[in-house]
């Protein structure tokens, strides 16, 4: 189910939660069992409502309750407390999306089934590439086979990330320029690759983030540009001071720009571009940009764009203070 559910007993202790609620609370269901739900949700007032639901044997509907989850993030949701038998309450959590274009609904919950199905073909692809790498003598072909293996491993890791309960990012130091070099190597090896130029700020420090997920964002942007007809890409890095990311302002943010010379974002898509299932191509899934913005926000950052015919810029923002937390 996509709805977050928890079964709690005396004292508000969790007896069971489903993966959807684990996704919202950013905690694994096994970890949650035995803990008190009011503490997991950082909402002490919930304890009295659970007790009343049990004592009075009637449901309670709590509207627009704001509670805390991991990394200081807050979620606002409607809660339904329904006594199911002696001493147990079923809790339904329905997160409220105030900005439908902001990608606040975790798409990873919806895509878990797809991630499970894609892992077997990826394993077959990797095995075939390994055989080719062993058998071919040409160094260029061996390098291409190695690239296939690396990409299969990266996609398998992304699938694992979607399948992990809670879907937490693997945070580590990331050199954004090394990330962009990996991006370029992948893009130029693909058919119809645009030319690539760099405009880097060499003084930028390492950031903290999940390198594979951030690379996925940049790949989505570069491939979208190529498929839209761009013939040239510019990869630019800068520091932006006094940036506003979501509901907060930060002293400085690292900005990665992917600039293309394509026809630009169609007018009819400008207000809905980051919504799921919105695509400007007949064969597009409409998931790439929605997932990309979710990954950016997962890192405390944002993904934005400005577009006109001949120049479209997608900017990935990452807070630099994160590196000092």
Cα separation, 287 vs 36, in Å, equals 35
DSSP 123-140: HHHHHHHHHHHHH---HH
| pLDDT value at residue 276 | 60
Distances (CA, A) of 179 to 150, 174, 219, 288: 14, 8, 10, 19
Distances (CA, A) of 242 to 116, 201, 251, 324: 41, 18, 5, 17
Give 21's pLDDT tier (boundaries 50, 70, 90): confident
Res. 31: pLDDT tops 60: yes
Cβ-Cβ contacts under 8 Å for 215 (sequence gap 6 or more): 154, 179, 182, 183
**CB 112: neighbour CB atoms within 10 A?**
19
Cα separation, 61 vs 187, in Å, equals 51
Task: Give percent above pLDDT 90 in the chain.
Answer: 26
Lowest mean pLDDT among 175-184, 213-222, 243-252: 243-252
Lowest mean pLDDT among 198-202, 278-282, 318-322: 278-282
185-214 tens-digit pLDDT:
988 888 888 999 999 999 999 988 888 889
Place of tokens 């089934």: 113
Place of tokens 């979710």: 294
60-74 tens-digit pLDDT:
888 778 887 765 677
How long a stretch of residues is the chain? 325
| Buried-exposed string 140-153: b where 16+ CB fall within 10 A, e elsewhere | eeeebbeebbebbe
Lowest mean pLDDT among 128-132, 199-203, 232-236, 268-272: 268-272
Indicate the DSSP class of residue 263: -
Cα separation, 20 vs 16, in Å, equals 12
95-119 tens-digit pLDDT:
875 433 333 344 555 555 566 667 7
Closest CA to 107 of 40, 161, 31: 161
Closest CA to 92 of 105, 82, 106: 82
| pLDDT value at residue 1 | 56
Q: Mean pLDDT in the chain? A: 81
Distances (CA, A) of 135 to 118, 138, 145, 151: 26, 9, 11, 20
| pLDDT value at residue 131 | 92
150-181 tens-digit pLDDT:
888 878 776 765 555 344 567 789 999 999 99
Cα separation, 312 vs 315, in Å, equals 10
Res. 85: pLDDT tops 90: no
């Amino acid at each position: 189910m996509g709805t977050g559910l928890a079964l709690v007993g005396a004292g508000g202790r969790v007896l069971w939660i489903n993966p959807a609620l684990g996704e919202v609370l950013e905690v694994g269901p096994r970890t949650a069992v035995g803990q008190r739900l009011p503490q997991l949700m950082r909402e002490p007032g919930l304890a009295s409502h659970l007790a009343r639901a049990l004592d009075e044997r009637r449901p309670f509907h709590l509207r627009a309750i704001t509670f805390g989850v991991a990394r200081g993030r807050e979620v606002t949701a409607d809660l339904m407390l329904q006594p199911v038998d002696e001493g147990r309450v079923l809790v339904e959590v329905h997160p409220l999306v105030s900005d439908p274009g902001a990608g606040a609904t975790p798409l990873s919950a919806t895509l878990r089934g797809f991630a499970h199905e894609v892992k077997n073909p990826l394993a077959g692809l990797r095995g075939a590439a390994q055989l080719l790498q062993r058998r071919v003598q040409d160094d260029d072909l061996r390098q291409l086979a190695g690239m296939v293996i690396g990409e299969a491993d990266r996609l398998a890791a992304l699938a694992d990330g979607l399948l992990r309960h809670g879907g937490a990012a693997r945070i580590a130091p990331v050199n954004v320029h090394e990330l962009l070099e990996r991006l370029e190597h992948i893009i130029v090896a693909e058919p119809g690759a645009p030319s690539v130029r760099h405009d880097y700020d060499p003084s930028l420090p390492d950031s903290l983030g999940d390198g594979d997920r951030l690379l996925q964002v940049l790949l989505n942007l570069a491939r979208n540009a190529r498929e839209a007809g761009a013939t040239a890409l510019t990869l630019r890095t800068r520091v932006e001071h006094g940036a506003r990311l979501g509901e907060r302002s930060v002293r400085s943010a690292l900005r990665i720009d992917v600039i293309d010379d394509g026809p630009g974002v169609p007018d009819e898509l400008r207000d809905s571009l980051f919504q799921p299932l919105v695509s400007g191509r007949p064969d597009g899934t409409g998931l790439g940009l929605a997932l990309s913005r979710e990954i950016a926000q997962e890192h405390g950052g944002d993904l934005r764009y400005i577009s006109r015919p001949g120049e479209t810029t997608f900017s990935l923002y990452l807070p630099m203070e994160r590196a000092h937390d």
